[in-house]
């Protein structure tokens, strides 16, 4: 996923560097918005998975407090490792989409469409 984010950003930055006319940038804006919608869907799915893994982690920790044992403690550690990985992945995904929003504003500005610099 990180590679996909990076490659798309590089392509958009290259396209922004060359003046190709408003019609080209209008088409590029449509393409970019489609990619942003895909990433927003991906972001939602990863948020839901992250929340459910966090819920399972809390349930497992609660169970470990009520009935201590090696199996439950091991399961809690595994859920903690999985949750940590998902939080890091979600953080990178979220920051990538935020960068894409700014790129979208630059594309729309070059296309002569209503845009803002945020």
Query: Once rounded to an integer, what is the mean pLDDT over residues 28-32?
Result: 94
In a domain, 116, yes or no: no
In a domain, 81, yes or no: yes
In a domain, 48, yes or no: yes
In a domain, 115, yes or no: no
In a domain, 54, yes or no: yes
- Domain count of the fold of the chain: 1
Helix (H, G, I), strand (E, B) or coil at 67: coil
Residue 83 burial (CB < 10 Å; 0-12/13-18/19+)? buried
Number of other residues whose CB lies within 10 A of the CB of residue 12: 20
Q: Which domain holds residue 6?
A: 2-110
Helix (H, G, I), strand (E, B) or coil at 43: helix
Number of other residues whose CB lies within 10 A of the CB of residue 53: 18
End-to-end distance of the chain based on CA atoms, in angstroms?
25
What is the model's pTM? 0.80
In a domain, 118, yes or no: no
In a domain, 33, yes or no: yes
Q: What is the mean pLDDT of the chain?
A: 92
pLDDT in tens, 51-94: 999 999 999 999 999 999 999 999 999 999 999 999 999 999 99
């Amino acid at each position: 996923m990180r590679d996909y984010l990076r490659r798309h950003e590089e392509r958009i930055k290259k396209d922004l560097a060359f003046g190709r006319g408003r019609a080209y940038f209008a088409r590029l804006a449509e393409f970019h918005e489609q990619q942003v919608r895909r990433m927003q869907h991906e972001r939602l799915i990863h948020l839901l998975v992250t929340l459910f893994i966090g819920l399972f982690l809390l349930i497992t920790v609660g169970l470990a407090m009520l009935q201590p044992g090696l199996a439950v403690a091991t399961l809690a550690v595994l859920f903690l490792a999985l949750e940590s990985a998902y939080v890091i992945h979600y953080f990178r995904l979220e920051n990538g989409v935020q960068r894409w929003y700014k790129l979208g504003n630059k594309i729309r500005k070059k296309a002569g469409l209503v845009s803002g610099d945020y």
